[in-house]
Structure 1
Amino acid sequence: GARVAEIGRGFGMRVTGWGRSFCESKAEVLGIDRAETIEDVLREADFLTVHLPLTTQTRHILSAERLKLLKENSIIVNMARGGVIDENALAAAVANGRIRAGGDVYEHEPTDSGAEITSPLAELENYQGTHHIGGLTIQAQEAIGEGVIGTLEDFFYS
């Protein structure tokens, strides 16, 4: 999420973050605002990116009820895991044209790369999705390699 925040700021966007462990000092370091609640973020967002891990606490954290808080015509991009958003609720909101959405994940990921996506989102013309391949670019793989090297350097030299 930090890199997305940096890019958003570069486009002159007001960027707001929320997370249970996302503190004011981290927001200051990133140069962004910090919301008190997820509901605050949803009410304010024109463009929402999701970067939460999938846990028992975050499964369907973006429920039908919470998705209704989004402004009409807002855009949501799931960069986390499919299960953090109630996929049926998201599909309904996208199908009726209230919001737009995209992502690289689905709640029930196909097990092989050639398998058909069976999500209700995949049937929608106004949903832009890929098959969990966003990390397979040369740039993404280089970034992963650099991250691994940085972690190893921190471990061995700190």
Structure 2
Amino acid sequence: MSAASVPPSPPSGGASRHRLVSVRRLPPAVTARAAAEYNGVLAVEHDIGREESLALLRDHAAEALLFSSSFKLDAGYIAAMPPQVKVAATCSVGFDHVDVAAAKARGLIVTNTPDVLTGCTADLAFSLLLSAARRLPEADALMRRDAWGPRSMGDFLGVRVWGKTLGILGMGRIGRAVARRARGFDMRVLYHDVAPLPPALEEGAHYVESLPALLAQSDFLSLHCPLTPATRHVLNGETLALLPRGAVVVNAARGGLIDEEALIARLQDGHVAAAGLDVFEGEPRFDRRFIGLPNVALAPHIGSGTVETRDAMGHRSLDNIAAVLAGHPPIDPIWS
């Protein structure tokens, strides 16, 4: 048993239980449920790494793996998994950290956790939008260093949010939830996606056929599309230049959607007035130059970071595992 693990309680009545390895630390309520329902290993003191997790899957004859977006389920890892592993459940809605082709080829079922994190991730995205627009990180820092002094009417001015135009790139569950929140600020909401939504799902937003047309009209831009080869660095030097000067950029989706070098340059020259970022390339590492930019609101990938949502994500992962190991179809397969 790993030093990072907690032993499950013994099965009642001598009944045999399925075996699970969870490589990421889970909320207490989810940990308690997993320990009660499964034999195996649960990360407690620290997350479990790749090589250790493979050894644990073998040693405990585990049938299920529970992981998250910070754990790469790539082709090499999938090939090294012992054959009895039937299902891998990621505590995330995105699955760009999964090699889908390799999982399919092996016959490994992979599930995610849609729906349960939509509202809180949308809340965080809109919080970043407001924080960046109204310069709240700068204001907080000023107060903490006790530097509030006389100033003119022209000092410390942010960007008005209400009544402006919000562009949403990616109108899935979270994008639609952000559109609903924007309506409360009397914003005009535009969106671009691979195809327009049925009007009943548009949340009062208007479809724009091309990305350049969306960018040209967006006082605020919020990214909510999945990270794919086609969307990697969808915001780059060329596309950022299409935004109106003084626009605000928000990213609570995936860091790879933005060419960070290009964004830093546009933040420095003022073409982008501010940014609110919850995600970065190479997490948990990130470009330290962002720290020195006063016009950036930074967060450490906490879009789903509420007690209620993280509990729901963990329980949804366990529900998916339970369904597969009981011989039923998964609830949330990442492919059909």
Fold agreement, TM-score > 0.5: yes
What SS does structure 2 have at the residue aligned with 1:49?
strand
Which among 66, 74, 77 is matched to residue 239 of structure 2? 66
Which among 34, 43, 49 is matched to residue 207 of structure 2? 34
How far residue 124 of structure 1 moved from its aligned partner, in angstroms, is 1.5
Identity %: 39
Tell me how far apart the structure 2 counterparts of residues 84 and 60 of structure 1 sit (CA, whole Å): 5
The 5 A counterparts of 1:12-23 are 12-20=186-194, 22-23=195-196
Q: What's the C-alpha RMSD, in Å, of the aligned pairs?
A: 2.8
How far residue 132 of structure 1 moved from its aligned partner, in angstroms, is 1.1
Query: In the alignment, is the contact (CA less than 8 A) between 1:106 and 1:119 conserved in 2?
Result: no
1:90-144 per-position Cα deviation (integer Å, ceiling 9, x unaligned): 111111222111110011211xxxxx64343233221111111232123543665
Gaps of 5+ in 1: 111-115
How far residue 11 of structure 1 moved from its aligned partner, in angstroms, is 1.4
1:124 to 2:297 alignment: no
Query: In the alignment, is the contact (CA less than 8 A) between 1:27 and 1:33 conserved in 2?
Result: no
Which of 1 and 2 has greater Rg? 2
1:135 to 2:309 alignment: no
The equivalent residue for 1:76 is 249
How has the CA–CA distance of structure 1 residues 123 and 27 changed in structure 2, closer, same or farther, with 3 Å as cutoff?
farther
- Larger mean Cα displacement after TM superposition, 130-139 or 24-33: 24-33
How has the CA–CA distance of structure 1 residues 12 and 78 changed in structure 2, closer, same or farther, with 3 Å as cutoff?
same
* Higher normalized helix content (fraction of residues): 1
What SS does structure 2 have at the residue aligned with 1:48?
strand
The equivalent residue for 2:183 is 9
Q: Whose relative contact order is higher, 1 or 2, with alpha carbons under 8 Å and at least 6 apart?
A: 2
TM-score by length of 1: 0.80
Which among 216, 219, 223 is matched to residue 50 of structure 1? 223
Gaps of 5+ in 2: 1-174, 321-329
Query: How many aligned residue pairs are there?
Result: 149
Give the letter aligned to residue 247 of structure 2.
S
1:101 to 2:270 alignment: no
What SS does structure 1 have at the residue aligned with 2:188?
coil
TM-score by length of 2: 0.40
The equivalent residue for 2:138 is none
